[in-house]
């Protein structure tokens, strides 16, 4: 019997179990995620999802070729064929699964994590993402508990073929916006040595947009800065480039290019929730009266904007599996998160930083004013960003905070953690899924009161 099909040794089970997060598989290589584990996941995927073919893509991480090759071996030994897409962005993998009708897809990536990490994002047909509750947990259990023996005959092993999908992907991205409306402009793009360095030139070919490229070379060692644009220190170079080159705006992608953030022409960072409002406005011009989903960490300006443009705002828990499911249930045309994830009905409800960028460029072009003026009416409030505090008992601490503010007459809900609402400010306190942390987000109507409100909550949290 192949030792890779036997139950994992007890001393390895805790490490492998920790690889399986709420929405994906992720860990250090080779300390946690190894080629052997990738093989087992490939085998388990076939046993759980029973696809006849699986699309597999990978990003530019150094460990990507080895992890991808082992994953593919596992899928083939399970009896399924493989279309090897090679180097692609995550949204391109989702596009391929939806467009070509693959029953399953896997993206080998650790998104924005440091160079030592890698992982797997798994989806089924129509780019439906797996979570622990919708198949990922079953795959984990099979990896931990042992797999059935591989087929005995070569004829029962899956085949593998390479497939280049990036030209079709680029064409699809352009087809989902009015490219004729995009005016001549100059934008700085920081790919962070990630996959946007490959996809941006393809998508923007033929558009009247001059690209000032930063770090377009694919390099999984991230020699310039981590590919995590939500951290302010990682967009400093982009902010400088926007000013020095007189750009109309800047855009920063994360490592696998499914997330993006904007920088306005003055070099100021634009939050993902404000980008959600900007894109929502354009989507409602195209699809009047549609539902738009946003997560509860987003600014109050987001639902206000949706309503002002005639849409139906729908509030969601944080996390792509919740948002995508809610979008399907409500037939929502678009969804967005503060973290820079943007979801589109026309892309099988998958997230795409690229499509969000093109939509934003179309809106700015139509508005005929700089990005800063487009967002000014949407961005009047002050936000803390996410503040993490380690506490011994997150549930008990949350209960204390809730009780104090309930006594002060706050409106409280429990959609995700606890959200405390006052007329002129609000905050959300959520427990981490993987660490003994509480995550705090605060928004106030008056910038001058932000620091005091944050301190007020953190004192109760015990920071």
Name the average pLDDT for the chain: 94
3-state secondary structure of 71: helix
Arch. (CATH architecture) of 272-352+362-378: 3-Layer(aba) Sandwich (3.40)
In three-state form (DSSP H/G/I as H, E/B as E, the rest C), the secondary structure along 281-332 is: HHHHHHCCCCEEEEECCCCCHHHHHHHHCCCEEEEECCCHHHHHHHHHHHCC
Q: How far is the first Cα of the chain from the last one, in angstroms, to the nearest whole number? A: 53
DSSP state of 384: -
Rounded mean pLDDT, 244-260: 97
339 tagged catalytic: no
Domain boundaries, given as residue ranges, for the chain: 3-164, 168-268, 272-352+362-378, 382-461
pLDDT digits (tens, 9 = 90+) for 372-421: 999 999 888 999 988 999 999 999 999 999 999 999 999 999 999 999 99
Least confident of 8-22, 42-56, 200-214, 276-290: 8-22
Looking at residue 151, what is its pLDDT? Answer: 57
- CB-CB neighbours of 268 under 10 Å: 15
In the chain, the percentage of residues whose pLDDT exceeds 90 is 87
CATH assignment of 382-461, given 3.40.50.2300, 2.40.30.110, 3.40.50.2020, 3.30.310.50?
A: 3.30.310.50
d(CA 173, CA 288): 21
Edge-to-edge, what's the strand order for the sheet holding 350-351?
312-316, 291-295, 334-336, 342-344, 350-351
Q: Which burial class, exposed, middle or buried, applies to 209 when counting CB atoms under 10 A from its CB (0-12, 13-18, 19+)? A: buried
Choose, from 68, 70, 111, 299, the residue flagged as catalytic: 111
Take residue 14 and report the two structure tokens written for it.
């805790």
Which CATH number fits the domain 3-164, given the four candidates 3.40.50.150, 3.20.20.220, 2.60.40.1930, 3.40.120.10?
3.40.120.10
Query: What confidence tens digit (pLDDT) does each residue in 197-248 have?
Result: 999 999 999 999 999 999 999 999 999 999 999 999 999 999 999 999 999 9
Q: Is the link from the previous residue into 245 a cis peptide, with omega within 30 of 0?
A: no
How confident is the model at residue 10, as a pLDDT? 81
Strands 411-413 and 387-390: unpaired
- Superfamily of domain 168-268 in the CATH hierarchy: Alpha-D-Glucose-1,6-Bisphosphate, subunit A, domain 3 (3.40.120.10)
Q: Is the pTM of this model over 0.95?
A: no
Fold match flag (3-164 vs 168-268): yes
User: Distance of CA 261 to CAs 22, 201, 339, Å?
Assistant: 24, 18, 9
Residue 463: predicted pLDDT: 64
- pLDDT at site 8: 78
pLDDT digits (tens, 9 = 90+) for 330-387: 999 999 999 999 999 999 999 999 999 999 999 999 999 999 999 999 888 999 988 9
């Amino acid at each position: 019997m192949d030792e890779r099909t036997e139950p994992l040794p007890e001393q390895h089970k805790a490490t492998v179990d920790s690889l399986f997060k709420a929405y994906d598989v992720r860990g250090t290589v080779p300390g946690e995620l190894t080629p052997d584990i990738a093989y087992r996941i490939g085998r388990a995927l076939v046993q759980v999802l029973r696809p006849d073919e699986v699309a597999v893509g990978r990003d530019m991480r150094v460990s990507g070729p080895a992890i991808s090759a082992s994953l593919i071996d596992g899928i083939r030994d399970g009896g399924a064929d493989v279309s090897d897409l090679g180097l692609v962005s995550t949204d391109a993998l989702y596009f391929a699964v939806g467009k070509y009708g693959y029953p399953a897809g896997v993206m080998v990536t650790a998104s924005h994590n440091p160079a030592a990490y890698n992982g797997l994002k798994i989806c089924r047909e129509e780019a439906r993402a797996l979570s622990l509750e919708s198949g990922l947990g079953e795959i984990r259990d099979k990896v931990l508990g042992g797999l059935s023996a591989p087929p005995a005959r070569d004829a029962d092993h899956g085949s593998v073929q390479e497939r280049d999908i990036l030209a079709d992907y680029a064409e699809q991205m352009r087809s989902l916006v009015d490219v004729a409306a995009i005016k001549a402009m100059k934008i700085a793009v920081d790919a962070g040595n990630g996959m946007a360095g490959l996809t941006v030139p393809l998508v923007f070919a033929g558009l009247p947009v001059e690209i000032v490229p930063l770090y377009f070379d694919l390099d999984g060692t991230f020699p310039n800065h981590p590919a995590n644009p939500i951290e302010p220190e990682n967009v400093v170079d982009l902010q400088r480039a926007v000013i020095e080159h007189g750009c109309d705006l800047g855009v920063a992608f994360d490592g696998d290019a499914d997330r993006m953030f904007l920088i306005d022409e003055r070099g100021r960072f634009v939050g993902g929730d404000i980008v959600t409002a900007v894109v929502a406005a354009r989507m409602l011009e195209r699809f009047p009266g549609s539902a738009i989903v946003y997560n509860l960490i987003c600014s109050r300006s987001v639902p206000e904007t949706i309503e002002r443009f005639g849409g139906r705002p729908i509030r969601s828990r944080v996390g792509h599996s919740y948002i995508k499911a809610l979008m399907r249930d409500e037939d929502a045309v678009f969804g967005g998160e503060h973290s820079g994830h943007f979801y589109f009905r026309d892309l099988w409800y998958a997230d795409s930083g690229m499509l969000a960028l093109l939509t934003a460029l179309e809106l700015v072009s139509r508005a005929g004013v700089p990005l800063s003026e487009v967002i000014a009416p949407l961005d009047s409030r002050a936000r803390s960003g996410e503040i993490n505090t380690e506490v011994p008992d997150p549930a008990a601490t949350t209960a204390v905070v809730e009780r104090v503010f309930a006594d002060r007459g706050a409106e409280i809900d429990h959609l995700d953690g606890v959200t405390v609402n006052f007329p002129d400010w609000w905050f959300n306190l959520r427990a981490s899924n993987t660490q003994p942390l509480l995550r705090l987000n605060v928004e106030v109507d008056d910038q001058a009161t932000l620091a005091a409100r944050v301190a007020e909550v953190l004192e109760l949290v015990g920071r």
